[in-house]
Amino acid sequence: MPGVLWVKEIGRINPARDIREQEMEKRALGRSGLSITALGLGTWAIGGSGWAYGWGRQDDREAIAAIRRAVDLGMNWIDTAAVYGLGHAEELVGRAVAGMSVRPYIFTKCSLVWDDDRLVGNSLKAGSVRRECEASLKRLGVDAIDLYQIHWPNPDVEIEEGWAEMSKLRKEGLVRHIGVSNFTVEQMKRAAAIAPVESLQPPYSMLRRAIEAEILPWCRQEGVGVIVYSPMLSGMLTGAMTKERAENLPEDDWRRNNKEFMEPRLSRNLELVELLRSIGKRHGRSPGEVAVAWTLRHPAVSGAIVGGRSAEQVEGVVGAGAFRLDDAEIGEIEAFVSAMPS
């Protein structure tokens, strides 16, 4: 597989046992020079409530424990964003990694800004991008951000201005690498005319496959590293979601209004989870680990972001960093998904 660095397996993992019995696979992040583990910890959910896309209340102590456990289990990168919890997730990441003898790579994002009323808007103006970077550096407690990404390509007319400023930040040493998130191929081409796009972060799961048609082939051809988010569809495919839980999500959990957590899709999605559970049982893996492994099967994917609001949740998905589906199992999933209503 092009762009992949294979790390020797030491033994098979049982989810209830320590991942250190087996080294997590590492992959090249495109042509950036970074070698990242197949899994990285995502911190959207630990930002807590109090903003439009919060996941409900979060215990900060459990959040910090989740970050530290992810690093202890071998993940060498953490993905966050300024907007998660309106700065709070970055603060928690900073607290969690402070004093670590070997610090993981820290990836964060800009372009979503908020006002005094906690209302979120978009800006890719040069001055805004720089202010966001400086604020993120302070919250994270680091001298440089390992990978700085444009979170959303909005406003579209400001892409060139924002990307030019990202390039300046890299040249000044405030960030080491620059990438984008949620961009189309055409938008990446526009950015690449100014400075190389080192990575893309798009949504990808067996229920969200739009990037397979054009985006993933282009990234592989151009050497753009891909780290996918929501491989478990924001918790739907973890195996922990039930119909009752979905119907009773807290008022401040954005998923209440997501079609995948509502009928008629909810019941069919939960049937898919049972298939993933059946496949996982053959290997001592959770449904969530099967869902993540499915995304990692694609040769253009460098790594997958997995969320965890507690150390226990991290332990429940970390096995996907070494587990791979065989062709027959991929075929089972493909057959089920293709029969699902659109």
* Helical (H) or strand (E) element with 77: strand 77-79
Pairwise CA distance, residues 174 & 183, whole Å: 23
The predicted structure's pLDDT at residue 240? 73
Exposed, middle or buried by CB within 10 Å (0-12, 13-18, 19+), for 246? buried
Q: What is the pLDDT of residues 21-75, one digit of tens each?
A: 357 899 999 999 999 999 999 998 888 887 777 767 889 999 999 999 999 999 9
The predicted structure's pLDDT at residue 26? 95
Q: Give me the residue spans of the domains in the chain.
A: 25-241+295-323
Local structure of residue 40 (DSSP, 8 states): E
The predicted structure's pLDDT at residue 19? 45
Q: How many CA atoms lie within 13 A of 46 on its CB side?
A: 31
Query: How many helices and strands in the chain, by DSSP H and E?
Result: 11, 13
| Beta pairing, strands 120-122 & 147-150 | unpaired
Where the chain has pLDDT below 50, the residues are 1-21
Pairwise CA distance, residues 203 & 116, whole Å: 29
The count of residues in the chain is: 342
The predicted structure's pLDDT at residue 14? 41
Q: Which residue has the tokens 């992949």?
A: 4
Q: Mark whether 84 is an active-site residue.
A: yes
Q: Is the pTM of this model over 0.75?
A: yes
Residue 172: partners with Cβ closer than 8 Å, 6 or more residues away: none
Q: What is the pLDDT of residues 284-314, one digit of tens each?
A: 999 999 999 999 999 999 999 998 899 999 9
The predicted structure's pLDDT at residue 143? 97
Pairwise CA distance, residues 58 & 303, whole Å: 26
CATH of 25-241+295-323, one of 3.40.50.300, 3.20.20.100, 3.90.190.20, 3.40.50.970: 3.20.20.100
Catalytic site residue from 84, 148, 204, 229: 84
